[in-house]
Structure 1
Amino acid sequence: MYSYIKALHIIFVVTWFAGMFYMPRLFVYNTEAGEKNEAERNVLRAQFKMMMKRLWVGITWPSAVLTLVFGPWVMVNGGWDKMLFSPDGQWLLIKLVFVVLLYVYHFTLNNIYKQQMKDVYKYTSQQLRIWNEVATIFLVAIVMLAVVKQSISFVWGLVGLVAFIILLMSAIKIYKAVRAKK
């Protein structure tokens, strides 16, 4: 039974992340539609709103909830909860902190979703592009902690994560410069 619960947890984590990766892209496209003429803008925004609603309500939110259901279930059935506050469980405690922060990120996306559904555009497409990469940072941190566990030191893990963030933000800057030239 444990393997099935774990498999379901992983499936819903994957679908949740898929939604969190694609949703900010739709925010970017919806924001950039504002630069089009009125007829184009209206058609594009209607389409993007429909896509956002289907993705957010039909996939991302249910996946977030089911991840939250199956995660603790896996933790308890796998006996992980017993080691949570022991030295061997430090990786799990740190991972859970990242998971809590991931839910905070999810709620920020929910706020942007609600704003854009009401035609409120508070962020530029560039800001949304940067915000889009936050899910990638969480994915890397959480997967590294889940797979590598105690084999990685906290300091080297943090250094690696900071280096990854710097690389990611540099790539965004380069992409922006390339787009500006076109």
Structure 2
Amino acid sequence: MYLYIKAIHIISVVSWFAGLFYLPRLLVYHTEAQVLPEEGRKSLGEHLVKWQRLLFNAIMVPAMCLTLASGVTMLFLVPDWLSQGWMHLKLAFVLVLLYYHFYTRKLLLEVRKGVFRWTSVQLRLWNELATILLVAIVFLVVLKSSLDWIWGVLGVVLFAVSIMVAVKLVNRNRK
């Protein structure tokens, strides 16, 4: 039974992250569309809102719920993990991921109302946070207690800085 739950967990995590990667990108496109003439902006905006709503409600929310339910089920089946430090850190990262999910929804609702508080560059940087969390969680789960915490944290920080610099360089080259 455990392996079936684990398979469901992996599939739902992949689906959830697909949405977490794509929704901020749609918000980038929506923000950048604001410089278009009125007719194009309105038409594209309507399509983007439709895609954003479908992505969030039909993919991200169900995938998040399945991820959490299967994760809790695995913890129920293997309760000893709750006494291990790597699991505490993983659960902390999952809490950050949930915050990311719901804050992105907040941004989505603002954009639907025509409120564009974030620039496209800021949204691109926000988009990379999901990548950083994915890398941290995967390495943590795969390496578990064999992970040297100092090197692990240093690696995640260096990866995050690299991603942020890359986004800045790509944006500079686009201009």
With normalisation by structure 2, the TM-score equals 0.97
Q: Is the 8 A contact 2:75 2:81 kept in 1?
A: no
Q: Which amino acid aligns with 1:6?
A: K
CA distance in 2, matches of 1:66, 1:124: 32
Return the offset for 1:91.
Answer: 0.9
1:122 matched to which residue of 2? 117
Q: 1:163 aligns with which of 155, 158, 170?
A: 158
| d(CA) in 2 for partners of 1:121, 1:170 | 24
Q: Is the 8 A contact 2:6 2:70 kept in 1?
A: yes
Give RMSD over aligned pairs: 0.9
Q: Which runs of 5+ in 2 are unaligned?
A: none
**In 2, Cα distance between equivalents of 1:84 and 1:62:** 25
| 1:99 to 2:94 alignment | yes
**Corresponding residue for residue 71 of structure 1:** 71
Give, in whole Å, the separation in 1 of the partners of 2:81 and 2:28. 42
Which structure 1 segments of 5+ residues have no match?
A: none
**Structure 2 SS opposite 1:67:** helix
* Offset of residue 173 of structure 1: 1.3
Distance 1:44 1:160 in 2: 40
**Correspondence list, 1:22-171, <5 A:** 22-77=22-77, 79=78, 81-85=79-83, 89-171=84-166
Displacement, 1:83? 3.6
Q: CA deviation at 1:135?
A: 0.2
Give the superposition deviation at 1:84: 2.0
Task: Quote the Cα distance in structure 2 between the aligned partners of 1:62 and 1:70.
Answer: 12
Segments of 4+ moved more than 4 angstroms: none
Identity %: 43
TM-score (norm 1): 0.93
Instruction: Note the C-alpha offset of 1:166.
Output: 1.1
Q: Distance in 2 between matches of 1:119 and 1:28?
A: 13
For the residues of structure 1 that align with 2:21 and 2:146, how far apart are their CA atoms? 29
Shift of 1:5: 0.9
- Asked if the contact 2:21/2:130 (under 8 Å) is kept, the reply is yes
Query: Take 1:171 and 1:75, find their aligned partners in 2: how far apart are those partners?
Result: 37
Residue 6 (structure 2) aligns with: 6
> What SS is found at the alignment partner of 2:20?
helix
Give the distance between the partners of 2:120 and 2:42, measured in 1 at CA.
Answer: 18
Report the equivalent of 2:167: 172
